[in-house]
Amino acid sequence: MSDDQSIQPTFVGKKNIYTCDVCYGHVVTVDVVEGVTPFLIACQSTEGCKGLMKSSMYRVFDQTMRPDLEWYRPTKEELLQHNFNTREHVAKGGLIYRKHEPKPSDLRRMKERMAETRRPWTPEKNPLVKK
């Protein structure tokens, strides 16, 4: 197999975590299409923070975490709203992010999991309550 035919890993559907070097906040991202994502992004965790968030390079143990942002390929119309550097990034196969909006099927599964794990709380079952 030649180099140009080598098998490349896909990151579609994979979670990544970006952590800020100033406020230490983090965001979870998911790739919704194949493409290139940056190693550093401006802080998206804390409003007003001027820090840079560093990628964990997809080394995320719990791939079931709910994402905050999703990496996608913008339409030509959306791309016109961005600066030259972003347009160049996308032209070279890069993705940009937006707020992640869960699909109805994802919301349904989340509600089902929450219902399965919900246990009625009573003071008698709480070991911290003195009898």
Between these two residues, 104 and 91, which has the higher pLDDT value? 91
What is the C-alpha end-to-end distance of the chain, expressed in Å? 71
Confidence of residue 48 (pLDDT cuts 50, 70, 90): very high
- What CA–CA distance (Å, rounded) separates 32 from 14? 8
pLDDT at residue 4, as a whole number: 57
Q: List pLDDT tens digits, range 5-32.
A: 566 678 998 999 999 999 999 999 999 9
Residue 124: predicted pLDDT: 64
Q: Is the pLDDT of residue 33 over 80?
A: yes
DSSP β-bridge partners for residue 54: 19, 40
Q: Average pLDDT of 39-53?
A: 96
Q: What pLDDT was estimated at residue 58?
A: 95
The pTM of the full predicted model, rounded to 2 decimals, is: 0.74
